[in-house]
Structures are given as C-alpha cells and as structure tokens.
Amino acid sequence: MSRRLFRWALALPLALAIAGLSGCGSSQPDASTASASAAAGGGAKEVTVFAASSLTGTFTELGKTFEAAHPGATVRFNFGSSATLAQQITQGAPADVFAAASPATMKTVTDASLAGSPATFARNKLQIAVPADNPAMVDELKDLTDPKVKVALCAEQVPCGAAAIKALDAAGLKVTPVTLEQDVKAALTKVELGEVDAALVYKTDVIASAGKAEGIDFTEADQAINDYPIATLAKAPAGDLAQRFVDLVLSQQGKDVLAKAGFEAP
C-alpha cells in the first residue's frame, strides 16, 4: 500500500465519526428551545372534549384558537346530546373535558366522582324555530298546539327537551310533537329541511342556521333558561392541557365568542 493511500485509510474513519457527531447534534433542540416548546404546550398532545351539540360552532372556533396558542396540541371534539355524552363518560369513554347543556346532565358525571367542580360558563334559552318561509304561519307558542302544525321537540331526557317541557308547562300548553329528537341539532334540521313546521330549539342554534330557519321569541322561554357547566374530568389523560382549554372557555376571549353566537353570560 502506498504511503498516500495509507494516510487516506486512516483519515476516513475519523472524518465519518466527526460527521456522525455533527449530524446527531443538529437533530437535537437545545435546552432553551425544548423548554419554550414545553411551555407553549408543544409535543404530540391531544385534548378530547365532550360537548353539547349546541356548542358545535363556538367550541370548534375555540378549538382552533387553542391549537394556535399551543403548538403541537390537537383538540378532538365529541358533540352530541349532553345526556348521551354523560352516559358515555360514566361508562368509561376516555375524555378530558365535559361541557354540558344543563346542570342535571353534568350532575350525572360529578355524582360518579368523574369530574372536578364544574363552572357555569354560559346560558341559553329557547326560541320557536320555523322554516324561512314559515308555511304554517306560526307566530306564537300557542300555535304549536294546533294539530295541523307539525312540531319537533327534543326528547325529555335531553336538556333542550327538558327546557321545552318547562316552558310549555309555564304557558299551560300541551303540544303533541310528530317527532322527538335526541339532540337540538337534529330537531333544528327537521325545520331546515321543511319536514316539520316548527321546533323548540335554542336561540343560538337558530342564529347558527344562517337564515335556513327563523326564530320567534316567546315570554315563557325566560322561565326555562339552561345553564351550561364545564369541568375537567378526574382521569383526564391530557392533564394540565385540559385545564387550559377550560380556562380559555372561561376567559374573556371565550365569553366574546359565546356572546357572538347568542349565548348569555351566566
């Protein structure tokens, strides 16, 4: 072997080792970068939020705000009937946060020692929802008692259904619905599709329909206002990140988003 080739053979392993060390060093963030990432909520983290279907629009918006403020975090939502969600949680469904449309459905979870102390973050009340052209000429709550008027209500165990019963009792009226829906979105959809002439749904859902339905106020709605509680769950996999989402909902920014959608302050 020539002297030049011998020197090259000795130098090659050293060069490769230096390159390898350089490559390893460049792939690792320094301590300050890692610390900043952790403080901002970085990393592969996921917050699962179970929320009443009437919160779909507002919470979806707040979820995007939360993700922007916590790089690497993802908010997953399960929207539906509060009663159904509470049942899922008590049966072991993994979740971090529960936002219900009534204290009664939240109580199902807290009574099972599955959530921390809930905080009321919003209030909501009913309107009569009718199709945009209002074919049955519904003007007031009493019109819903007409057998010719097809009415959709939420089922009694659903918060919007319980509120409807309370409002109708306050008015001394009896309404026979043609359908009982498992959440408020389903009841409103019946109106939007023209399958019913009217439904008792939340004011916020009428606003969210963007003109597909019209809302009619009625006095007795003030006697059936629903408080919305939110709580972190006792075994929340996301831990501190779950509390941060609750804090966002309770913050002034959260209140502004909810107010824009038609929710009232608690």
What domains are there in the chain, each with its CATH number? Answer: 43-123+227-260 (3.40.190.10), 126-223 (3.40.190.10)
Per-residue tokens: 100: 């219900």
Report the SS3 class of residue 91: coil
How far CA 58 is from CA of 135, 158, 199, 244, in Å, comes to: 30, 20, 22, 17
Which of 79, 109, 118, 113 lies closest to 205 in space, CA to CA? Answer: 79
Q: Which DSSP symbol is given to 98?
A: E
Give me the pLDDT at residue 188, please.
97
| Cβ-proximal residues to 40 (8 Å cutoff; 6+ apart), any chain | 69, 70, 71, 72
pLDDT, residue 44, reads 43
Mean pLDDT, the chain, rounded, equals 87
The runs of H, that is alpha helices, within 52-211 are 56-69, 82-90, 103-110, 159-171, 184-192, 203-208
Would you say 69 and 41 are in contact if contact means Cβ atoms under 8 Å apart?
A: yes
Query: Which of helix, strand or coil describes residue 262?
Result: coil
Rounded to an integer, what distance in angstroms lies between the CA atom of residue 124 and that of residue 255? 13
Give 263's DSSP letter: P
User: For the segment 199-227, what is each residue's pLDDT rounded down to a tens digit?
Assistant: 999 999 999 999 999 999 999 999 999 99
**Digit-coded pLDDT (tens) for 82-136:** 999 999 999 999 999 999 999 999 999 999 999 999 999 999 999 999 999 999 9
Beta strands in 97-167 (DSSP E): 97-99, 119-124, 126-131, 151-154
Q: What pLDDT shows up at residue 184?
A: 95
CA–CA distance, 52 with 184 (Å, rounded to integer) = 9
Q: How many CB atoms lie within 10 A of CB 256?
A: 10
Q: What is the pLDDT of residue 151?
A: 98
Predicted local distance difference test score (pLDDT) of residue 94: 93
DSSP state of 53: G
Q: How far apart are CA 140 and CA 131, in angstroms?
A: 14
Phi/psi at 26 (nearest 5 deg)?
A: -70, -20
Question: Mean per-residue pLDDT for 174-181?
Answer: 97
**Is pLDDT at 23 greater than 60 in this prediction?**
no
For residue 121, give Cα distances in angstroms to 35, 103, 110, 207, 264.
32, 11, 17, 19, 9
Q: Provide the 8-state DSSP code for 264.
A: B
CA angle 153-162-160, nearest 5°?
A: 55
Q: What pLDDT score does 33 carry?
A: 32
Mean pLDDT over 149-174 rounds to 97
Share of the chain above pLDDT 70, in %: 83
State residue 34's pLDDT score.
Answer: 33
Judged by average pLDDT, the poorest of 16-30, 42-56, 75-89, 190-204 is 16-30
Tell me what pLDDT residue 239 has. 85
Asked if residue 17 has pLDDT above 50, the reply is no
